[in-house]
Amino acid sequence: MEFQHNLDSLVLTVKLVNKKSIKHCYLRVINNNEIQIRANMYFTKEDAKDLLKRKKQWLLKGLEKISLNKLENDEFLFFGKTQKLIDYKITNIDKFYRIKIEEIIPPLVEKYSKQMKLYPTSIKYRKNKRTWGSCNYKNGLNFNTQLCKFPIEIAEYVVIHELAHIKHKNHSKKFWDLVEVYCPDYKQREALFKSLL
């Protein structure tokens, strides 16, 4: 069965697949205008509509992730928004990200260092595949230049997270309690970050 579903300003095609062998209900974002629901034989169109309403935020995040991952050759991500390379006269995106992150991170570090009373010995930048930020045993901080791709609140969270490591070199309860003081919504920011990766 196939039907249309309005999600905010989006019109999505929903494909409902009913099978005897399916015990649970599976919701999947196929692309930026198609959703698939796989369920048992008794799962109706009305059940599907109810599920889509309940999972609205999850769907929006899934659709956002797909749109972020589908960039044209002349496009790039800049603080969560898709931009045109030509508008910024970019010939080397990695160099551009490095310049921009060096403009963005120091004011954030200065702001939260003063609030947290935790001061790094150095700040360095590099392009990494997995690590978004780190704090070494000498309290030097490292930040991934690719943070420029994501909304600014992600970079802000990473700064607070790494500054907290100056005091706690682990992910203990005391560490997370300290992060929460300066970033009360850190769990939501982490969830957003993971959804965009």
Write down the domain spans for the chain: 2-70, 93-196
pLDDT at 192: 81
Q: Helical H runs in 70-151?
A: 85-88, 93-116
Q: Give the tokens for residue 180.
A: 């929460």
pLDDT at 194: 80
pLDDT at 155: 96
pLDDT at 100: 96
H or E stretch including 177? helix 173-182
pLDDT at 69: 62
| CATH, domain range 93-196 | 3.30.2010.10
Report strand pairing: 2-7 vs 10-18: antiparallel
pLDDT in tens, the chain (197 residues): 899 988 877 788 999 999 988 888 999 888 777 899 999 999 999 999 999 999 988 888 888 777 666 677 788 889 988 889 999 999 899 999 999 999 999 999 999 999 999 999 999 999 988 899 999 999 999 999 999 999 999 999 999 999 999 999 999 999 999 999 999 999 999 888 887 77
- CA 101 to chain centroid: 17
pLDDT at 154: 94
